[in-house]
Amino acid sequence: SFNRSSFWANSFTSSRNFYLTAATEVGLIAILAFFILLLSVYKYDIKTRLTSAETWPLIVLFILAFIFPVTFFGITLLFILLAIGSNSEEKTFNVNFLARGENSASNISSRIPSFIVALPVIASVIALSYFGYRYSLAEYRFKEALDAVGNNNAQTAVDKMVAAINLNPRVDRYRLSYSQLNLAIAQNLATKKDLTDDDKNAISQLIQIAIQEGKATVALNPTRSGNWALLAGIYRSVMSFAQGADQFTIQTYSQAVALEPVNPNLRIALGGIYYALGRYDEAIDAFKLAVLAKPDLANAHYNLAITYREKNEVKKATEEINIVLTLVGKDTADYETAIKELKNLESLTPPSEAPTPVIKPPLELPEEATPPASL
């Protein structure tokens, strides 16, 4: 199975070649439409076309598409080559019906067909220039924000992130980075010993922005489990700040698992939340499913063993530890960790304890912080 391969922890955005990607995302109708397009373009003079220099770049592109995924640039190049090699005929017509010597009023009216033909082209060029400028400027502002983060200039980073989002609000990485930035500022502010009311209000606002942008990331692509997992991570990070964040974390992790049920790491993360909340039976169920998804994942067995230990089910915990010992190398720190009965943990990490509140009383999340509805 896929989880037994060396790529089990990787996420892929396309298949191994263009045709498989098209069939996966659109269906067999995409393949059928593609070959109908080829047939309509090259149904005449096949022998002549095969000897034409214009055809061979297209043939090479078709062959490469069987081997590699094709980017947006490759698809654009494909249609350019199809246009160059098509069996087209050049026809010229004059939309100016004015006879020489007629008056100016007739001259203007006779040029209306020319304006009608040119208007869509002009509008397309203007729109392309406008949006291209905005998208390019958004990327530049985003780079400036990342540079500001590297220089520990939080205010500049926030301003540049907001500018990038305003220029191009449909890029999820802008939203994600802005969410993480606000969360980091909130966590840093929460480490102060004596928090004032202004500090608490600032933390609350920063958390709300982080959650809002995390939800926006999900809204841009709600079928991507990674976006739900990122939102769950945000809720997980504010469990020490806000009431109700634990339930939101469970809800969003559950949705991520539903979208990618074969991912054992998502189930381990969900089980870790149950463990941190002391809901050991549900944690055991989650870890069991992680083991089922990838039986050779040592960390899944390890987390399951710890949870069994918390329930005083020593026999089952011992069985899981023995499995861990068979999955890790004897010369590794993980092996020593398991031998020492889960003490002095290094690489194998147990589910983390629920973070203790750093703000008392805990903040209450507003209704707007509720996770998006599940699919």
Q: How many CB atoms lie within 10 A of CB 2?
A: 10
- The answer to whether 62 and 42 are in contact (CB under 8 A) is no
Is 66 inside a domain boundary?
A: yes
Q: Single out the residue of 163, 151, 209, 167 nearest to residue 184, CA to CA.
A: 209
Own/partner long-range contacts of 84-92 (Cβ < 8 Å, ≥24 apart): 84/54, 85/41, 85/42, 85/49, 85/52, 85/54, 85/55, 85/58, 86/41, 87/41, 87/44, 87/45
Is 151 inside a domain boundary?
A: no
Is 35 inside a domain boundary?
A: yes
Is 261 inside a domain boundary?
A: no
Is 263 inside a domain boundary?
A: no
Query: Residue 13 has which token pair?
Result: 């955005």
- The answer to whether 179 and 214 are in contact (CB under 8 A) is yes
CA 328 to chain centre: 32
Is 21 inside a domain boundary?
A: yes
Is 374 inside a domain boundary?
A: no
Question: 32: domain range?
Answer: 13-85
Q: Which residues, including other chains, have CB under 8 Å from residue 365's CB and lie 6 or more apart?
A: 207, 208, 211, 238, 242, 243, 244, 245, 248
Angstrom distance (rounded) from CA 294 to CA 78 = 40
The model's pTM is 0.67
Is 178 inside a domain boundary?
A: no
Angstrom distance (rounded) from CA 300 to CA 307 = 11
pLDDT at 89: 59
Query: Residue 193 has which token pair?
Result: 């010993």
Residues of the chain under the 70 pLDDT cut? 1, 13, 40-51, 72, 85-111, 241, 341-364, 366-369, 373-375
How many structural domains does the chain have? Answer: 1
pLDDT at 1: 64
Angstrom distance (rounded) from CA 205 to CA 211 = 10
Q: Which value, to the nearest 10 degrees, does the dihedral of the CA atoms of residues 65, 70, 74, 75 take?
A: 90
